Amino acid sequence: MIRTLNILLITLTALVGQPFAHADTTPDQKAVLVTGASSGLGRVMAETMAANGYFVYAGARKDKDLQELNTIENIQGVRLDVNRQDQIDAAVKTITEAGRGLYALVNNAGVAVVQPLIEIDEQDFDFQMSVNVYGPYRVTRAFAPLIIESKGRISIIGSISGTLSSATWGPYSMTKFAMEAYADALADEMKSFGVTVSLVEPGAYRSQIGKSAIERMDERKQTTDSSQLKAAMDESVNWLSHFENDAGDPTQVADAVMKALFDDNPKPRYLIVPTQEQAYWTISRAIERMAEQNHDQKYSYDREALIEMLDAALAKQSGEVVQ
């Protein structure tokens, strides 16, 4: 009897020291880290995965957001500012010590700064680059050992702005163009370790990014009045102000991320747009850029050769064997 009580006490003591979780977890329950999960797309992704039985470490910066996330079954809030290496390191320690490993990482945290490239100051430019480019770099580098150990998945949230760009959107588009190259190179590196990398490229979906961009302009007392491109700035700011009303259902993006992380044969890219118009803009611009590169250069291809290349690319995506 005494021996039984001792064993029970030892067991209870060990359990008290375990990290807090909202639901019983099994050894094969896949764990996912989502950055920028306090609101918008990240919050929907975290809730969608948790509802489907996955355990989600939801990155957030504020106490209030962390407390809210901790009330959701299968979600544990983790303090994570992608600009803070100390918080990234602490998150690695927390997740490692939890003992369930880490199957997948979703680099979602992002911000938008709308300014002409000839006017934006270095503080805004650094802020844009630090979150959207250095953020995925910092977080992925830190968590790569855990992902490699589990032969898991990495999903990077890009944008159709990685193909499209226009006046005042240059700083934001630069970061999303960067994610195109980052995802390609990272996928090539990680395949050696059995890790799959996918880039999810959403169009205009409801998130907090527009609201946050306007709030930052207000905090910095920035207006469009002094801009040399005032008309373009007014149009962009007006669009951001109405973004939440006009954008698509973010669950579509969460569904794409689920496919990227858990399908048997994930795609390297997921273009997810709420309207045919946005798909047309994106694909036609990609084709136009190809035509611009091919035009009047030493080794230009004629129309027949280009169509043959296109047919081969389409066949590859459909899994057909090209003769």
For residue range 53-112, list pLDDT tens digits in order: 999 999 999 999 999 999 999 999 999 999 999 999 999 999 999 999 999 999 999 999
CB under 8 Å to 83, separation ≥6 — which residues? 130, 131, 134, 135
Residue 270 lies in a domain: yes
Mean pLDDT of the chain, nearest integer? 90
What are 38-52's pLDDT values in tens digits? 999 999 999 999 999
More confident residue, 193 or 18: 193
What are 210-246's pLDDT values in tens digits? 888 888 988 999 999 999 999 999 999 998 887 766 6
Statement to judge: residues 258 and 285 lie in one domain: no
Q: Which domain holds residue 145?
A: 17-274
Rounded to the nearest 5 degrees, what angle is found at the Cα of 293, between the Cα atoms of 292 and 296?
Answer: 80
Q: Is residue 105 within 8 Å of 147, Cβ to Cβ?
A: yes
Q: Is residue 164 within 8 Å of 203, Cβ to Cβ?
A: no
> Of the listed 54, 57, 103, 172, which one is catalytic?
172
Confidence of residue 206 (pLDDT cuts 50, 70, 90): confident
Verify whether residue 172 is a known catalytic residue.
yes
Statement to judge: residues 236 and 300 lie in one domain: no
Statement to judge: residues 222 and 312 lie in one domain: no
Distances (CA, A) of 282 to 159, 160, 203, 279, 295: 10, 6, 9, 5, 20
Residue 155 lies in a domain: yes
Statement to judge: residues 263 and 279 lie in one domain: no
pLDDT for position 13: 32
